[in-house]
Amino acid sequence: MRTAIYPGSFDPLTNGHLDVIQRAVKLFDRVIVAVAKNDGKQPLFTLDERFALVKKAVKHLPNVEADAFDGLLVEYVVSRKAQAIVRGLRAVSDFEFEFQLALMNRKLNENVETIFMMPKETYTFLSSRLVKEIARLGGDVGAFVPAHVQNALAKKFAGTKRS
Ligand code: ADP
């Protein structure tokens, strides 16, 4: 059983993340989308909210499950009996950080491989940060996130100043 962990903040999950998940599941028997607690990042959505949004988004995908984790990623990978970490690469700008992260994780556990997947070109410009910014300013994010994420964003920003 080949299992991959796709870790991230998913604050919130976007269609770019979903694209990576759908590609990864073609290579593995099981993909676990693991929402990181990430206190340092001051997320817009709580861990529970981010997890619930991911869970709903992958419900219809066979062999994909959602989970949440805290602490060291390589330890989580071992605890889930997984062999690999999947990360998405959008542009050169992602590379430096992802490269560093992958090599550090290898240093911590050399049995865990990191695999990079590139999304469909249309999603290469997409990030949770931009989606939040557009939603905050009242823009339409319907093309970038699933409908339930769009609703959650609308709720979060309801009543906030849009200028
Ligand atoms: P993190 O805070 O760990 O970077 P993110 O939720 O921002 O978490 O991203 C998780 C992973 O998904 C990262 O590897 C990131 O590069 C990748 N990713 C994010 N958005 C996209 C996208 N539009 N296309 C492909 N990969 C993406």
* Residue 41 confidence class, pLDDT cut points 50, 70, 90: confident
Peptide bond into 146 cis (omega under 30): no
Q: What is the CATH number of domain 3-124?
A: 3.40.50.620
Which residues are paired to 7 by β-bridges?
34
Query: What does the block give as tokens for 25?
Result: 């599941």
- Supply the residue whose CA is at minimum distance from atom 17 of ligand 1: 88
163 CA to centre of ligand 1 in angstroms? 27
Is residue 88 scored above 60 in pLDDT?
yes
Residue 41 annotated in active site = yes
Nearest CA-CA partner of 35 in 128, 146, 132: 128
Tell me the whole-structure pTM to 2 decimals. Answer: 0.94
Q: What is the mean pLDDT of residues 116-143?
A: 95
User: What are the structural domain ranges in the chain?
Assistant: 3-124
Q: Residue 161: its pLDDT value, please?
A: 55
Evaluate whether 9 touches 71 at the Cβ level (below 8 Å).
no
